[in-house]
Structure 1
Amino acid sequence: MADLTAALFARYNRVMRGTFVGVLIVACALVYIQFRMTLGAETSSLGQRMQEQAVSLDAIVKTASDAVNTMRIQAQTWFRLHPQGAEPSVLLRALQPGAAPGSIELEQLPPPWTVADAGNLTGLVGVRTPAIDRELEMALSLNGAFKTIKANLPGSTWVYYTSAYRFINIYPWVSSKKFFYADSLKQKEFFAGVEPVADPSRHILWTPVYLDEAGQGVMVTASAGVYDDKAFRGSVSLDLTLVQLNQFVRNWDESLGTLFIINDRGQLLAHPTLVRPGAQTILQAAEAFPPALRRDLPATLQAADGDLVELDGYYVETLGIQNAPFHLVLLVPRWNLVKVALETGVPSVMLLVMGLTLMLLIASSFTYRDAIVPAQKLVRYIQEEDRGSVKSIPDIPQAWRPWFLTIQNVFNAHTQLVSIQQELDVARRMQQSIVPTRFPSRPDLQMFARMIPAREVGGDFYDYFWLSDQKLGVVIADVSGKGVPAALFMAVARTLLRAIAPSAAGPGACLALANDLLAQDNEATMFVTLFYGILDTGTGMLEYANGGHNSPWLVAPDGTVSQLPGTGGMALGVIESVPFVQASAQIASGSTLLLYTDGITEAFNPAEEEYGEARLAGHLAASAGLGVEALLKRLVDSVYEFADGAPQSDDITCLAVHYGAAGPTKA
């Protein structure tokens, strides 16, 4: 009996050890699954947080870009509104000759002006002419904008206008004994880089990082060219220290890795430890990377562009910033994420092993109840979650609950992402439904349009509406920015235009009223470029006004291609009480009018070449005689063929109107 008992006990122990080993194998498998899922969730979460940080950084940079663009718009608007100059202002009369021959300075500010209200204008203008005085007056008119930008933009040090006429207006006011205009300023990149030869597209320029000569430390400058019609006059510039960028990266949780910022010149702009407050040294981007990644840094940055990838024991991701040539970089040692994944699963495993040991001492039934059954439920729960049929977490021991909650959270996050994508698809379809999809097709008038957003929703729109039996209004517009904010602003602009147009005296008056309404309480500083024309289908006369938009092209019956003369209007929504000049053109019978947005002409190919106005004109000439639908199809196909797979950077929208009894000769 004793031998039988021993044999039975030994067999029982073998069964229990086998059961225990089996459960341990299952537990290890679950730990591995948990580890992989947690590691995947951590990398996904880091990628999402990086996207959020990139959006936040872009908002910071956009504030500076918008400030520079606002100064440029104000300067160019002043030129348009004062073609012959203006009565000399108090500040202009206060300009005094400097020590050097032909020099000027604003060393003494006339009351009530103080050094808090204006900058010091110094220069070597020589003999003053009406043209020079006109530009001096414009530069002095920017003082209000300088003061506002300096007060509201953290990190700004100097705000200034530099003229090709050899003078500078710099804010805050600084005595001419400490700073006076020098011709060497025109050789600096903030000026030379925005001249027409260097910047024909008139973009916002960001300079490399440099040491401020006035002792303000390491900084960068945002600059833009100022034009009087087509004539280059100078540049508006904003000097920024890197304090705000460094504060931005220091707010990142260091346990999640190191966040830093580099520019396209290979320089390090911000780093939580390498770039210190008051630093007087410019560091290269490579210094922020470990030696293993530094050997082939361009390849590293390219591989990690937009994705969190594992390279030589590190997780790396880089995200470009839309409003500046900056890149946000995240560098995480792989062990950091592995440790987090292990710490998430190991405590649960320890509880499981202890529970299993206790259950083996009590009875085999406890083992089945507290280990095998929960494991089976967990696998079943994962399968049900995958099928989307889970109603609630089943009745399980408390030690198993974190497993189920983790799986539940992962699947819920996935479901939310799918739901967001579906909502964006609905928004895109709703936006497409706002614009007309049916067009007139009469013996004397044919129309067709195409709109292809760069994202799920866009900021472009086109429209047409009848103002009378024979007067047709046509509109095309491009809202600043992209995505949902641009789409909302687009809907508001279209609704206002439609409401105003029937009662407006003409296109110019219509745009003026729409601009005033859009500019009111426009805290988002969004604007829209817009062309609005009224075609009399009885006479062929086109009355139109242009709010900073691309001038339409006209294809004559003989194939000649030309652009409608511009009216010099500015974008809507920037400032109130701006007049819009109205013009008219006679449209010959058999002509086709093409309205379009800059998503066509500013399409880029992989070689960073622009489609451009000249290529568009050549394409229209080669497409003369096509029907409006065939014309737009060939035009969009031409843009895509030119882009050669490069990502679409802007919305593509175009509207073709064929006028005249003689219809197109080719299908």
Structure 2
Amino acid sequence: MSDLTAALFARYNRVMRIALVGVLVVACALVYLQYRMTLQAQTSSVSQRMQEQAIALDALVRSSTDSVNAMRIQGETWLRLHPQGAPDTPLLRALQPGKEPDSIQLDALPAPWTPADAGNLTGLVGPRTPALDRELEMALSLNGPFKTIMANLPGATWVYYTSARRFINIYPWVASKDFFYADSLRQKDFFTEVQSAAGPERSVFWTPVYADEAGKGLMVTASAGVFDGSQFLGSVSLDLTLGWLNQFVRTWPPGLGRMFIVNDRGQLLADPELVHAGAQEVRSAADAFPPALRRDVQSALRDADGRLTIFDDYYIEAVGINHAPFRLVLLLPRWNLQRVALETGVPSVLVLVLSLTLMLMIASRMTYNDAILPAQKLVRYIQDEDRGSVKAIPDIPQAWRPWFLTIQNVFNAHTKLVSIQQELDVARRMQQSIVPTRFPSRPDLQMFARMIPAREVGGDFYDYFWLSDQKIGIVIADVSGKGVPAALFMAVSRTLLRAIAPSAASPGACLALANDLLAQDNEATMFVTLFYGILDTATGELEYANGGHNPPYVISPDGGVSQLPGTGGMALGVMEGTPFAEGRARLEAGTTLLLYTDGVTEAFNSADEEYGELRLAQHLADTKGAQVEVLLKRLFDSVHQFADGAPQSDDITCLAVHYGASGSTTA
């Protein structure tokens, strides 16, 4: 019997030793697999961050191209609206002869203009003619956009209009003795490259990098041609120093390599090490690469276009910028990611392997009946629970039974939690899919919205829909309560409103019918506050009705902030037969309308202070001229900073509508 027992234990020990060797082999494989998976995850993460940086850079560059296009559109629009023969403006009358024959200058600005309000117009124009005076008036009308661009655009140094009739209007104002028009300006790239045929699709031209003659360092110029019909008159241009690009690349974490920017002419625009403030030397893109990669920089950039690619001992990724001939380039030593992969995943795997090895060594000295067999049964039981194929707890010692019961309870609870979470995820995706994610963006109407639920699903919603070629309905609502019931009531409310609105005679009639339908069989006594307005994009006329919701804010073109007058309506779904009064307002061109839910004003910080309507109105007063997407981003950032980490107590939803010039067709 003892021999049999010894043989059994000897066999068991041999099995344990084989298992130990197997564990070590598997450990090595796991270490390598973990390293490869971590390295792949790191490279994917870096590439994703690179793509996000490229999107952010494109947004910065787009602000410059948008500014140039805005100046071009302003000039060409002015020309269309002002034929020859109009009375002279004070600025035109203030033009004085310069030192040269047939020259002009604007050294003395008439009141109330100051050097902060206008540029200096100088030139060698020859005899004054009606056509010349009309173009001079157009150039002087650009002073407003000049001032706005310089105030809002980082990196902007000079902004100016250069005419084929030999004059320039340059901002900021500079005395003619310090800067005067020269014919050499018409030989520059910013002028010669934009003389192609007129048309709305022509793009902004970006010059190569050059050293500023005024000593402000390296810069580039964005330029566009101004046409009077098919006749080229001149160019509007924006000079930007490379410092703003250098600040952008310096935000990249040093541990993830070096980020720099090159253009399509093989020049280096920004680099945290090679490009410095006030530098006068234009560096080649090859200077940013290590010597081993300089032999064929263009080939490397082409192969690394849009993906992280290995070259020698480096990872390289190059992402093109849509609104400028620039490329954002990342140069990352391979060892940086390899070290992170080793430090991140391998130690944890090694600890796990050592723990398993120790457990095996201890388990080999335990009795078979009291430890090994129950442990084997426990592992099998866990596997069966994981597969969902457990029938009953097996025959095991009583001391092991609580373990089996605990595993059983944990898996049961886990299964229920997974099921609930999956249902909530489906509900969240469905809720997000029924609110608009694409918005009109036209000269007469821009719109944008954001919504952050307090839970996985929420009761807020926003909506818009075209009722005709020029009338658009806008909606924002807040359902009582939170979670799944509020989300379901929200979906029903939105569906009803969309179905009723096209045939309703007015906003008040639409809310009255929707209220009656929601109040029928409303055993849960839920209700929804709702603002519904119809905006005529041709006239700016806004007709609206308010069902117990926060009155929207109106941001006028001059920056004034006010609330739409209330109509006294109550929430929908409370009582049938409730009438809803209507209000009317006329929006001026350039007015922004902010619709919001009380999650904004009732956001609390850690000191239990409320964000409030006063703080909201003060914030909106500081956002004059901001685009709707920027306005909402700043507002949500303001609420987030105010909350300072305090839990979100309610859904936060905003819809911003900017009304511009009338006369456009539906997008």
Q: Is the 8 A contact 1:193 1:199 kept in 2?
A: no
Q: For residue 222 of structure 2, give the secondary structure of its aligned residue in structure 1.
A: strand
Q: What is the aligned partner in structure 2 of residue 205 from structure 1?
A: 205
Of 237-246 and 314-323, deviating more is 314-323
Q: Is the 8 A contact 2:446 2:659 kept in 1?
A: no
Q: Is the 8 A contact 1:209 1:218 kept in 2?
A: yes
Q: What is the aligned partner in structure 2 of residue 141 from structure 1?
A: 141
Q: Is the 8 A contact 1:154 1:244 kept in 2?
A: yes
Q: Counterparts of 2:186 and 2:289 in 1: how far apart (Å)? A: 36
The offset of 1:81, in angstroms, is 1.3
Change (3 A) 1:370 1:4: closer
Q: Counterparts of 1:382 and 1:188 in 2: how far apart (Å)? A: 73
Residue identity in the other structure for 1:497: Q
Matched, 1:318 2:318: yes
Please give the per-residue CA displacement for 1:425-475, whole angstroms capped at 9, x wherever unaligned. 968xx98xxxxxxxxxxxxxxxxxxxxxxxx97979xxxxxxxxxxxxxxx
Please give the per-residue CA displacement for 1:250-279, whole angstroms capped at 9, x wherever unaligned. 111111121111111111111111112222
Q: Counterparts of 1:291 and 1:381 in 2: how far apart (Å)? A: 59
The offset of 1:371, in angstroms, is 12
Q: What is the aligned partner in structure 1 of residue 33 from structure 2?
A: 33
Q: Counterparts of 1:168 and 1:373 in 2: how far apart (Å)? A: 89
Q: Is the 8 A contact 1:119 1:174 kept in 2?
A: yes
Q: What is the aligned partner in structure 2 of residue 524 from structure 1?
A: 627
Q: For residue 170 of structure 2, give the secondary structure of its aligned residue in structure 1.
A: strand
Q: Is the 8 A contact 1:75 1:138 kept in 2?
A: yes
Q: Is the 8 A contact 2:198 2:230 kept in 1?
A: no
Q: What is the aligned partner in structure 1 of residue 91 from structure 2?
A: 91
Q: Counterparts of 1:525 and 1:317 in 2: how far apart (Å)? A: 33
Q: What is the aligned partner in structure 1 of residue 287 from structure 2?
A: 287
Q: Counterparts of 1:257 and 1:383 in 2: how far apart (Å)? A: 45
Change (3 A) 1:374 1:458: farther
Please give the per-residue CA displacement for 1:505-552, whole angstroms capped at 9, x wherever unaligned. xxxx974659977843284379xxxxxxxxxxxxxxxxxxxxxxxxxx
Pairing of 1:257-276 with structure 2 (within 5 A): 257-276=257-276
Q: Counterparts of 1:244 and 1:181 in 2: how far apart (Å)? A: 28
Change (3 A) 1:286 1:459: farther
Q: Counterparts of 1:315 and 1:60 in 2: how far apart (Å)? A: 26
Q: Counterparts of 2:381 and 2:51 in 1: how far apart (Å)? A: 36
Residue identity in the other structure for 1:216: K
Q: What is the aligned partner in structure 1 of residue 21 from structure 2?
A: 21
The offset of 1:495, in angstroms, is 5.9
The offset of 1:579, in angstroms, is 6.9
Pairing of 1:182-581 with structure 2 (within 5 A): 182-196=182-196, 201-364=201-364, 497-498=470-471, 511=538, 513=540, 519-521=590-592, 523-524=626-627, 576=660
Residue identity in the other structure for 1:520: T
Q: What is the aligned partner in structure 2 of residue 67 from structure 1?
A: 67
Change (3 A) 1:248 1:419: farther
Matched, 1:115 2:115: yes
Calculate percent identity across the aligned residue pairs: 57
Q: Counterparts of 1:188 and 1:208 in 2: how far apart (Å)? A: 11
Residue identity in the other structure for 2:591: Q
Q: Counterparts of 1:303 and 1:420 in 2: how far apart (Å)? A: 42
The offset of 1:112, in angstroms, is 2.4
Q: Is the 8 A contact 1:161 1:235 kept in 2?
A: yes
Q: Is the 8 A contact 1:23 1:372 kept in 2?
A: no
The offset of 1:230, in angstroms, is 2.1
TM-score for both structures, normalised by structure 1: 0.59
Change (3 A) 1:166 1:379: farther
The offset of 1:30, in angstroms, is 2.0
Q: Counterparts of 2:213 and 2:35 in 1: how far apart (Å)? A: 54
Q: Counterparts of 2:386 and 2:324 in 1: how far apart (Å)? A: 45
Q: Is the 8 A contact 1:308 1:315 kept in 2?
A: yes
Q: Is the 8 A contact 1:259 1:329 kept in 2?
A: yes
Change (3 A) 1:168 1:480: farther
Change (3 A) 1:380 1:326: farther
Q: What is the aligned partner in structure 2 of residue 155 from structure 1?
A: 155
Residue identity in the other structure for 1:256: L
Of 59-68 and 328-337, deviating more is 328-337
The offset of 1:31, in angstroms, is 2.1
Q: For residue 220 of structure 2, give the secondary structure of its aligned residue in structure 1.
A: strand
Of 200-209 and 277-286, deviating more is 200-209
The offset of 1:305, in angstroms, is 1.3
Q: Counterparts of 1:575 and 1:490 in 2: how far apart (Å)? A: 17
Q: Is the 8 A contact 2:309 2:316 kept in 1?
A: yes
The offset of 1:198, in angstroms, is 10
Please give the per-residue CA displacement for 1:172-192, whole angstroms capped at 9, x wherever unaligned. 111111111011101111111
Aligned length: 460
Q: Counterparts of 1:86 and 1:422 in 2: how far apart (Å)? A: 59
Q: Counterparts of 1:34 and 1:511 in 2: how far apart (Å)? A: 62
Please give the per-residue CA displacement for 1:57-113, whole angstroms capped at 9, x wherever unaligned. 111111111111111111111111111253212221111111111111111222322
Change (3 A) 1:575 1:458: closer
Q: For residue 298 of structure 2, give the secondary structure of its aligned residue in structure 1.
A: helix
Q: Is the 8 A contact 1:457 1:484 kept in 2?
A: no
Change (3 A) 1:87 1:23: same
Unpaired segments of 5 or more residues in structure 1? 385-394, 397-414, 432-455, 461-476, 504-508, 527-572, 581-594, 598-667
Q: Is the 8 A contact 1:192 1:198 kept in 2?
A: no
The offset of 1:312, in angstroms, is 2.2
Change (3 A) 1:39 1:264: same
Q: Is the 8 A contact 2:94 2:108 kept in 1?
A: yes
Q: For residue 110 of structure 2, give the secondary structure of its aligned residue in structure 1.
A: coil
Q: Is the 8 A contact 1:479 1:490 kept in 2?
A: no
Q: Counterparts of 2:385 and 2:221 in 1: how far apart (Å)? A: 57
Change (3 A) 1:63 1:87: same
Change (3 A) 1:478 1:68: closer
The offset of 1:352, in angstroms, is 2.6
Q: For residue 111 of structure 1, give the secondary structure of its aligned residue in structure 2.
A: coil
Residue identity in the other structure for 2:32: Y
Q: Is the 8 A contact 2:448 2:628 kept in 1?
A: no
Residue identity in the other structure for 1:289: F
Residue identity in the other structure for 2:255: S
Q: Is the 8 A contact 1:217 1:241 kept in 2?
A: yes
Q: Counterparts of 2:135 and 2:69 in 1: how far apart (Å)? A: 18
The offset of 1:54, in angstroms, is 1.2
Q: Counterparts of 1:314 and 1:371 in 2: how far apart (Å)? A: 49
TM-score for both structures, normalised by structure 2: 0.59
Of 355-364 and 272-281, deviating more is 355-364
The offset of 1:204, in angstroms, is 0.9
Please give the per-residue CA displacement for 1:319-342, whole angstroms capped at 9, x wherever unaligned. 111111111111222222121111
